[in-house]
Every structure is written in C-alpha cells, then in structure tokens.
Amino acid sequence: MRLVLAFVLCAFVAYCSARTRWYQLEDYSFEQYEVEFAKKYAHKAERQLRKELVERRLEKIRAHNRDLTKSWKEGVNHLTDRTDKELKALRGGIPNHKPRLHPQVYSKTYDAAAPQDMDWCSKGICTAVKDQGNCGSCWSFATAEVIESYYAMKTGFLSALSEQQILDCTPNPNECGGTGGCGGGTAELAFARIQKLGGLSTEWTYPYISYAGASQNCRYDPSTTPPYANVTDYYTLPQNKFMPLMQHISTSGPIAVSVDASAWSSYETGVFDGCNQTNPDLDHAVVLTGFGVDPDHGPYWLIRNSWSSKWGDQGYIKLRRTPDEENRCGEDLTPLDGDGCKNGPPEVRVCGTCGILYDTTYPDVASPKK
C-alpha cells in the first residue's frame, strides 16, 4: 500500500510540476503563469506591467502556433514576463578581431559517408543545462561549457567549470561584446584570459553568484580556487563558411558560436527559422552541440543555450540548417551596439541561419601545470 501511495504521490508531483506545453495555451491565464513559474512581484504596478507583457505575448504565441506553415512552436517560460530591454541584457555580442585560424585543411564538399546526425551531449561530455539568470554572461557560459566538453573528451573526466571566474577575471578594455562581466564579452577573450591565468577553476571552488545581474571582483587564486582545466590555445573557423563548421561538428566536438537570438525567447519545440536574415543582429553566445534531420521539418543545427532547462526544448533549440547556408547572408548594422569592439567596422556581413557561420571558436585544452 505504501508503495502505491508513493507512486501516486510521485506521479502527482510530476504532473503538478510539468510545464504547460504550447498546445495547452488557448485558455491559459496570467494567474496560471504566476503559479507555474512562482512569480512574485514587488508591487501592484509591477504586477500590472508583467501581466500586460504576458498577455500580449500570449496573443502572439497563440497566433504563431495556429499558423500551420511554421516549423516550430512557441510557448511560455520564465522569460515571458520580461521586457525587451531585460531580454536584451541576457545576450552578449560578437567580436571584431582577426580570426585565429587552425592550420587545418577543410574539404569543400560534404563527405557522403559522414554522419547524418550528431549530438555530442549524448556521448556524456556535456554538463546539465545551466541558467545565467539576469546577468549578460552568455559568453562566459559558452566558454566554460565548451572547455568542459573538450576536457572530458581528452581526459574522461567531466566537471562543471566556473563561469564566475571568467566573468570576474577577464578584462575587456576594447569592449568586445560589451563592457565585461555581466555587461558582455566574447569567448575569444575568455579563452585567451584563461590561458594567461593558467587555468579555469571548477564551479564548486569558484561558484556562480552573478545570477541577479551584478558583476563581481576577481577572486581567482590558485591556492584557494585551484585551476582544473587549462586552455593551451584556441581557434576560429573560417568566417561564413559552411563546410568547415560541418566538418568540425561532425568529427571534432562542440563549438562556441555567436548568433542573433533576439527572436528566441518564446521558442519551445520544432525547427526554428524566425531570425531576421536581412539584418541579423548577432548578440548571443551559445554552444553548437550537433545537428540532425527532423522528420517533419528537415535539417537543423542543435544549439545548447544558457537560459535554463525551462526554456526551449529542455534548454536546447533546433535552428534551420540548409545546404545554402553560405548564401543566406545579411548585414549586421549594429556591431557596436553592445556587440562588436570599439573602433571596429560599422557593419559586418554574416551568413547562416541567425548568423551561425560568422563567429565559431573552440579551444585546445589540457590539465593545469602543477
């Protein structure tokens, strides 16, 4: 009897904690949203603002989901009540720098014998999906996550690494990707800084405390926050080229990429194709972990985000992948709007869905020297 009661209780808890899916939103209310995501607002005026935001977005989400021509569905999540300004603060930028190209020869055509799908995280080299909170720290999360995977592939040991160390200890005098810390940065800056410091600590010795959005001072000390993994070098694939990215993700491992994520906040499932391809605004760093083919909507890139597992498809998004990615280009007209470096070009040409081909970078890793 006790086992039966325990089973029923577990099932009830699972049911109550289950996230409302896109097909359950026709009669969904703001009051249900408050309960589902445990929202507490400071005063009546703020609650009214959030209610209006959620209700407007619900209208757009419902209209989108009724459109059978769309290849993805939208839903509510913990970000649905945030303003556009708050959502923008979650995203970091792109670098304007000379790429550090790996001395590797890339094929110009795709090998027919290459895998038709790949998911590096299914191989046990990825930590659980993380949540950057209200800090514009996507660049530090993408950096830490890629290092975690390459270190696991090289040593067989997987451990969560410190995004906070990257945030606190990476100077950004040229304001590449933002102003540093929660104000934004780039994976390239982070790789170079970790290499100079001699390593990156674990999450447990240097925990993430900028969830609320406040930057911190650097507390890295090899004696108290010992390094766990080091970056010996890092490389950037050729800009706006499809085959180098396909070759790398097919054979070598995950890779940090910069994308336009300005239209991602309501994504829930399916193959996303809703970016502005004419003038994409690259503003977010994420990890490309693989690719595949959806039986209904065709090829996709598999992206790991850092907005928690409550967002998207358990923290992931599938982006449209086409054989014509190199010609699917647009002009980023605002690379200096928190995205590029000071004194960089006023606009840059970016290619691929959501600009995914423009900036792709990965590290070489090793154990720190004792």
Could you give the residue numbers annotated as active site? 138, 284, 305
The dihedral sign for the CA sequence 190, 368, 245, 102: positive
Helix residue ranges, H only, the chain: 2-17, 30-36, 44-66, 84-89, 138-155, 163-169, 187-197, 242-251
212 vs 52: CA distance, rounded Å: 23
Count CB neighbours of 64 within 10 A.
16
67 vs 65: CA distance, rounded Å: 5
Phi, psi of 71, deg, nearest 5: -95, 5
Name 212's Cβ contacts closer than 8 Å, sequence gap at least 6.
133, 134, 135
> Kind of pairing, strands 118-119 and 348-351?
unpaired
Tokens of 92: 């970091």
188 vs 360: CA distance, rounded Å: 10
With b for 16 or more beta-carbon neighbours within 10 A and e for fewer, the 204-238 pattern comes to: ebbebebeebebbeeebeeeebebbbbbeebbbbe
The SS3 call for residue 29 is coil
DSSP per-residue letters across 319-336: EE--TTGGG-EEEES-TT
304 vs 317: CA distance, rounded Å: 7
**Do 21 and 75 touch, CB atoms closer than 8 A?**
yes
Per-residue HEC secondary structure of 60-103 comes to HHHHHHHCCCCCEEECCCCCCCCCHHHHHHCCCCCCCCCCCCCC
